[in-house]
Structure 1
Amino acid sequence: MASKVAAKFVSYRVSQVALASHYTDKEPVVAAGSWDEGPSNRIQLLGYGPELDAEGSPRLLAEHRCHGDVMCLRFDPIYQNLFVGLGTGELVAMATTAEEEPGSNNGSGERQRPRLLRLLGQGWRPSTDSFGSGAVSALAIRDGWHALAGWESGRLVCCSLAVEVPDGGCSDAATLRPASGCGGRESVGLDSCCVTGADFIDQNAACTVNSMGQLKLWDLRTGLGQYDKVLTVAGDPKAMHCARRHPAQPHLVATGASGGCLCLWDLRQEKFPVSIVELDDGHVTQVEFHPVQGDLLFVSTMAGQLYAIRLSDSGGGGGSAALTDNPHLTAVLPASQKLPLLSSVRLCGRLLIGTRGRGLCTVQAQQRRQHRKQQQFDDSAASARAVEHPIEAMVLGERLDLRSLARDLTQHGLYQLVPLPAELAGTALMATSREPYTVGGQKRDAVLFDNGAVVLWNMSDKEAQQAVKLFSAYTTEPHSQRDILEQSESMAFVAEDSVGATRVSEDLIQLPAGRDPDSLVLEKFALSDALATSTRLGHLEAQLDRLARDLEPWIASLKEGQNVRAPGDLILSRTGQLYRLRFAASVCDSPPDFYWEREDLEALYGRMSNVLTVARRARLLNTRLQFCLDLCDLLRNQKHELEGHRLEWIIIFLIFTEIIFAIVHLSLELRRSE
C-alpha cells in the first residue's frame, strides 16, 4: 500500500482539527485547537502547500488565544467562519477570511491579503438552569449560521446564530446569540446524559449520540422537546463518541463507540444497525465519509489507528449499504508513523489527523486493487463464523387472550403450537412457524405470555411486524406503537458446536448446535421469560415516570409551603394507579413458582435476569413507588386535616350563632320582666 504521510509537531496538545473545504483546491487551510494548556489554549490556522512534505508546510497563518479547552471545531461551509465549542460551555464564532491590509504592497502592484482569525462578537451559551451546562461536547453547522450544539449536561440547542451589535455600540460589543424572527426560533432540549456527537440529517431532522450508547433522531419542526426515535445496539450498551451522515444518502449514518465498535445505521429501518465492525480495543473517536467517494469511510481510534473502510451494497436495493464483513483497510498508518491517542480526523481529498499528543499529521492514501484470491479467502472466513440470529421482546398490552389466540392459530394454520408443561397452561404459549424452511438452520419461534409480553426468536423485521400485528388483535388495553418500540428488549443468539450447554453473556446467547431443537424448548422459554420480565419492567418504569410528572406540581406546592389544591377523587385515582403498578412490580422480584423444581432452568433464568439487571431495577422501582405512595398518603392526610379544620370552624360558627341567639332571647326575657 502506497500512503504518503507527513507529520508536523507543534508546541501544544492538539484536541480538535477542522479543514476548510473552500480552500482545498488552492491552499488547504486547517484549524487546530489545543486542550489542557490553561490560559495558553489556542486556535491556529495552518496552511499547506501543494505537496504534503514541502519545506515549511504547514505554515502558521493566524493564531488566537482562548480561555477554555477547544472541544469542537467546525467550519461554516458557506462563509468559512470557524465555530468553536469551548470547555467553559461557550460557543464562539471567528472570521477566517482574508482581508486587505491598507497600505500594504507586495512589490508587484497587488496588495497582500493576510488571513485573519478574529472573534465575531462575544461568546454565547444557553441560559443556565438547575442542570447547568458544562462543556460543549458536540457541534454541527449547516447553511451558514444554523447550528446544533450539545453540552456535557445533556442540553441540546438548535438555532440560527447571528452577530448582534447593540444600538450605538461598537463591533467589539457585538454578541453571538440565537437570531430572532421566523427562521430563527431557538429549540432547546435535554438528553438523558452527555451528548457526544451530532449531525444534521436534512433541513428538518438531526441525529445525536450520547454516552449511554443511544442514537437519537430529532424532528426539528417540532423542536427538541422529545426525540422522534431512539436506536441502540443489542446487548451491553457502549458509549458512542461520534456520528456522521452519508454525504449523498442522508438515511445512512455511521457512529463510533467504545471498544472499537463501528456501526452503520439505516434510519429507514427499525432500531438496529445494518452492520457492525469491531476494529480494535481503542475507542472510535471520529468517523468521516469521503465527500466525493461516498462508499469510503475513514475512522480514527484512540489506539492511534486510521482506517479507510469500503462500504458494500447490502443487496437490499434502494440505496442501502453495509460495512464489509471483513473490512478492506485501504489506509492504515504503519506502526512507525502511528500517533498515540488519535482524537480527531478531518478530510477533503487528503486526510488530516490531530492527536492529544503534540503532533499534526496528514495522510494521502493510494487505494490498492483488491485481489480476487484474497477476497475469496475473506468470504470463506466470514461464512465460517457463527451466524447471529435476532431476539426481540416487547409488551403489546396489559393482557393477552392466550386461549382465543391458541384456538385461532390452530384453525388458520399460521403457526404450530409447541407443547409446554401443564403448569404453564393459561399463562404462557409457545408457537413455531409452519413455513417449510428455517433461517440459518434455526426455527422461528414466538413465546407469548398472558401479561401481554411477546418474545420473537429468529424472525426477520418483516415477519416480526406481521406477527406483532396478528398478536395485537388479542390484547386488552393495548399500548401505543411508540411505547412498544421504546421499551422493547433486543438480543441475539448463535448455535455453536463448541458449546455444550446454553450460555448467556452481555449481548449474546449461545445455544449448543449439536442438541435437538425440541430439547431446547424449555431453555428458550426460561430465557424468554426473563426477557419478558425485563420488558414488562421497562413499561412499568415508563408508566411511573408519567405518573411522577403528574405529581411534580404537587411537590412544588409543598416546597413553597402552600396547600395542594387537588380534588380528593384525583388523589385517590393516583393512589390506585400506584398500587396497581406496585402489584405488577411485585411479580418481577423473584423467579416464578414454575422454576422451583427445575434448578437448571432456574439458574438459566437467573443468569439472564442478572444480565438485564431485573432484580436491581425492580428494587429501585419499588423504592420510587413507595415514595410516590407516601406522597399521596401525605396529601390525603392533609386533605382530611383541612376538611377537619373546616368542620371545626363550622361547628364553632354554629355554637357562636347559638350563643348569640341565646343572648338575644335572654335580653328579650329581661325586658318583658321589667
Structure 2
Amino acid sequence: MTHNIHGTFVSEKINKIRWRPDFMNDSHYFITGSWDNDQNSIKLWDFQENEEDAEVYPFLVTEFCHKGDVTEIKFLNGDFFVTSSSLGSVYLMKISSEHGIEPLIENKISWEGIHKFPNEEISPCTAFATNDNDIVSVGEDGTINLLNSQNQSIFRKFNNADSCSINCVTFLKHSEILTGNLRGQLKIFDIRASKNEPTTIFMLSGDQVAPLCLQHHPTQRHLIMAGDEEGSITIWDLRQNAYPVNLLDAHEGSISEIHFHPDHPNQLFTCSGAGDVWHWSPKSGGMATAGLTAENVWLASETIKNKLDVFTLMPKLHKPINSVDVNRNKVICGCDNEAMYLINGINIFK
C-alpha cells in the first residue's frame, strides 16, 4: 500500500483525535484532546497540503481549556461535539464560526461531576455514546447517565448499574445500549425499562478479559465488535448473542479503538497500546468467491482470517496509540509520545 505519513510533535499526550464531519465540503479540520497535563485542552486543527512536495502542515486554529483528562470526544454534527472528563463530567461544545472570524470553541452545556463513587469522591467518566441528540455516559462508579444535548438536566440516572467500572458503551438502537465492564461482562440495557437492571448479560470470554472499546457496524447495528485488553477483537451477531461468531487475535497490546470506515463498512481500522495502527480489508475477490457482502464479511466462519488482509499503516511506535479516526482516504491518530500522525492516501478497496 502506498501512502504518506506525516508526524507532528505537539508537546502533549493525545488521548482522543476526531475528524470534524465534512464542513462546507472541507474535511481538513480535526479535534484533539489531551491527557496527563496539569492543564488539559481541546484543540481544533487544520492542515495545508503542499502539492509540490506532498507535505502536510497541521496548524492550530483554536483551543479550549478542559477540566481533567479528555477521556472521549464525539461529534454530533459539524458544529457540536461532546467531551468527557476524568473528573466525572460531560460537556457539550460548539465550534462557532462567524463570517470573517477564526473559529472558536465554546462550552454550551456542562454536566459537572455526574459520576461519583458512593463516598462522593469524583469518579472518571470512562466513555460515552451518542445517538442523534441523546448521550449516554458511563464511569468507574458503575453508573449510567442518560443526557440530551438540548437539556441541562440529567434525563435518567442508572445508579449501581454495575458493581465495577464500566469501560465502554454504545447505542444498539434509540432505546437500547450495550456496556462492557472491567470483569469482561457485556450488558444490554433497555433505557425505557423502569428497573436499573440489564435485560441481557454475556461474557467477552471465559477468562474475564475486559473490553476497552465497542463499535457497531455502520449499517448493521446487530453486528458488534469489542476490542479487549489482551489485543483481541471479538465479533457478535446480537440476533444470536449467546456466543461470539468470531474471535480475531489482533494486536500484541490492548486495543485502544476500533473504527469502521464511514463510507466503506467492509474496511476496519484499529490502534493499540503496543503502538500499532492497522487497516483490515477483505482480500481482493475474496468476498465474491465466498458469496459474502461488505456487510457480512465480519460474520464469516472461522476462516475469516483467510478472507482478510491486514496492513500496518505506519512503523510501530514505542508508546501507546490511544486514538484513531478515518475520513475518506486519510487516517489520523494520537499517541503518548506527544505526537499526532496523519496518514494520507490510504487505499480503500471497494
Both structures adopt the same fold (TM-score exceeding 0.5): yes
Determine the C-alpha separation between the residues in 1 that align with 2:125 and 2:19: 20
Asked if residue 348 in structure 1 is aligned to residue 327 in structure 2, the reply is yes
Q: What is the aligned partner in structure 2 of residue 19 from structure 1?
A: 19
Q: What is the identity percentage for the equivalent residue pairs of Structure 1 and Structure 2?
A: 22
Cα deviation, 1:96-132, whole Å, max 9, x if unaligned, reads 13124xxxxxxxxxxx131111211444332756264
Question: Residues 49 and 125 of structure 1: is their aligned pair in 2 closer, same or farther, counting only changes over 3 Å?
Answer: same
Report SS of the residue matched to 1:346: strand
Asked if residue 367 in structure 1 is aligned to residue 338 in structure 2, the reply is no
Q: Structure 1 residue aligned with 2:337, among 342, 351, 357?
A: 357
Mapping of residues 94-243 of structure 1, within 5 Å: 94-100=93-99, 112-126=100-114, 128=116, 130=118, 132=120, 133-144=122-133, 146-162=134-150, 176-178=152-154, 185-189=155-159, 190-222=161-193, 225-243=196-214
Give the superposition deviation at 1:212: 1.3
Q: Contact 1:330 / 1:367 at 8 angstroms: preserved in 2? A: no
Report SS of the residue matched to 2:57: coil
Unaligned runs of 5+ in 1: 101-111, 164-175, 179-184, 370-674
Question: Residues 235 and 56 of structure 1: is their aligned pair in 2 closer, same or farther, counting only changes over 3 Å?
Answer: closer
Q: Which amino acid aligns with 1:34?
A: S
Determine the C-alpha separation between the residues in 1 that align with 2:309 and 2:81: 32
Two-structure CA RMSD over aligned residues (Å): 2.8
Give the superposition deviation at 1:66: 2.3
Q: Contact 2:6 / 2:55 at 8 angstroms: preserved in 1? A: no
Q: Contact 1:331 / 1:365 at 8 angstroms: preserved in 2? A: no
Q: What is the aligned partner in structure 2 of residue 293 from structure 1?
A: 264
Question: Residues 140 and 204 of structure 1: is their aligned pair in 2 closer, same or farther, counting only changes over 3 Å?
Answer: same
Mapping of residues 327-346 of structure 1, within 5 Å: 328-335=308-315, 338=317, 340-346=319-325
Give the superposition deviation at 1:51: 6.3
Determine the C-alpha separation between the residues in 1 that align with 2:85 and 2:125: 6
Q: What is the aligned partner in structure 1 of residue 42 from structure 2?
A: 43
Q: Contact 1:307 / 1:329 at 8 angstroms: preserved in 2? A: no
Unaligned runs of 5+ in 2: none
Give the superposition deviation at 1:157: 1.1
Q: Which amino acid aligns with 2:113?
A: R
Cα deviation, 1:622-667, whole Å, max 9, x if unaligned, reads xxxxxxxxxxxxxxxxxxxxxxxxxxxxxxxxxxxxxxxxxxxxxx
Q: Which amino acid aligns with 1:344?
A: S
Determine the C-alpha separation between the residues in 1 that align with 2:115 and 2:68: 19
Asked if residue 278 in structure 1 is aligned to residue 249 in structure 2, the reply is yes
Determine the C-alpha separation between the residues in 1 that align with 2:184 and 2:36: 27
Cα deviation, 1:11-65, whole Å, max 9, x if unaligned, reads 1111111221133831422111111111x21111111335698667211111111
Mapping of residues 484-523 of structure 1, within 5 Å: none
Question: Residues 46 and 124 of structure 1: is their aligned pair in 2 closer, same or farther, counting only changes over 3 Å?
Answer: same
Report SS of the residue matched to 1:89: coil
Question: Residues 51 and 332 of structure 1: is their aligned pair in 2 closer, same or farther, counting only changes over 3 Å?
Answer: farther
Question: Residues 326 and 300 of structure 1: is their aligned pair in 2 closer, same or farther, counting only changes over 3 Å?
Answer: farther
Question: Residues 141 and 368 of structure 1: is their aligned pair in 2 closer, same or farther, counting only changes over 3 Å?
Answer: closer
Question: Residues 366 and 83 of structure 1: is their aligned pair in 2 closer, same or farther, counting only changes over 3 Å?
Answer: closer
Larger Rg: 1
TM (normalized to structure 2)? Answer: 0.86
Cα deviation, 1:209-233, whole Å, max 9, x if unaligned, reads 1221122222222167111212223
Q: Which amino acid aligns with 1:331?
A: F
Higher-RCO chain (CA-CA 8 Å, sequence separation at least 6):
2
Determine the C-alpha separation between the residues in 2 that align with 1:36 and 1:67: 11
Give the superposition deviation at 1:355: 1.0
Asked if residue 82 in structure 1 is aligned to residue 86 in structure 2, the reply is no
Report SS of the residue matched to 1:268: helix
Question: Residues 249 and 56 of structure 1: is their aligned pair in 2 closer, same or farther, counting only changes over 3 Å?
Answer: closer
Q: What is the aligned partner in structure 1 of residue 305 from structure 2?
A: 325
Q: What is the aligned partner in structure 2 of residue 255 from structure 1?
A: 226
Q: Contact 2:331 / 2:342 at 8 angstroms: preserved in 1? A: yes
Question: Residues 232 and 326 of structure 1: is their aligned pair in 2 closer, same or farther, counting only changes over 3 Å?
Answer: farther
Q: Which amino acid aligns with 1:113?
A: I
Higher share in helix: 1
Aligned residues: 337
Determine the C-alpha separation between the residues in 2 that align with 1:233 and 1:353: 26
Cα deviation, 1:285-333, whole Å, max 9, x if unaligned, reads 100011111111111111111111236878799x643362246345313
Q: Which amino acid aligns with 2:148?
A: S
Question: Residues 95 and 316 of structure 1: is their aligned pair in 2 closer, same or farther, counting only changes over 3 Å?
Answer: closer
Question: Residues 28 and 191 of structure 1: is their aligned pair in 2 closer, same or farther, counting only changes over 3 Å?
Answer: farther
TM (normalized to structure 1)? Answer: 0.47
